[in-house]
Amino acid sequence: MSDILANDVRLQFNKALDTLRGIAEVFPAERWLEVHGDDVFYIPSRIAYHAASYIDFQMMGGIKDPDFDAKLPYGSWRNGTAQTLPSKEAFLSYYDGLYPRIQEMLNALTDESLSAPLEPERPHYGKSLLSVYLYMLRELGAHEGELNKMLVDNGIEDVWVNR
């Protein structure tokens, strides 16, 4: 079997992952833990940490672990503050530790595994594992868009890995 679907999922996922890392790399360190705009939710660190920890949650079985957030290095992104969220360097360290585990999961994908039915814990994602991967790409894209808008607001060109 050619695994054409699995190869396409890997290709697009890696572009999204490289985009998130690229954004974090160029984001001004002095603005990384500051509220952006008029909503306290929009702290660049929170958005990036949420995007990365969400992928961690979905791929590494967090959906079945009620204590998943407590095991994260900086706790839940939901409750994070400028004092508890990761610095830019700490985020990149977390991300660099997560990246190989993500690659391992992506490398294990096959067209057959992508068509496998979802477990009962994820009925709202769709019917197959492919739907979870598509949802994760949507999640990454949404938050990368937010972070890129913050970059532009800081006078820095947005990051988009497309090749």
Which residue ranges form the domains of the chain, and what is each CATH number?
A: 4-153 (1.20.120.450)
Rounded Cα distance between 27 and 114, Å, is 34
The pLDDT tens digits for 98-142 are: 999 999 999 999 999 999 999 887 888 999 999 999 999 999 999
Q: What percent of the chain has pLDDT over 70?
A: 99
pTM passes above 0.85: yes
Between 17 and 38, residue with greater pLDDT: 17
DSSP-derived letter for residue 117 is: B
Whether residue 1 has pLDDT greater than 80 = no
Q: Per the structure block, which two tokens stand in for 148?
A: 């890129």
Average pLDDT, the chain: 94
* CA nearest to 78, candidates 95, 57, 99, 103: 57
- pLDDT above 80 (res 72): yes
Q: Which residue has the higher pLDDT, 71 or 38?
A: 71
Query: Which candidate, 75, 77, 87, places its Cα nearest to that of 34?
Result: 87
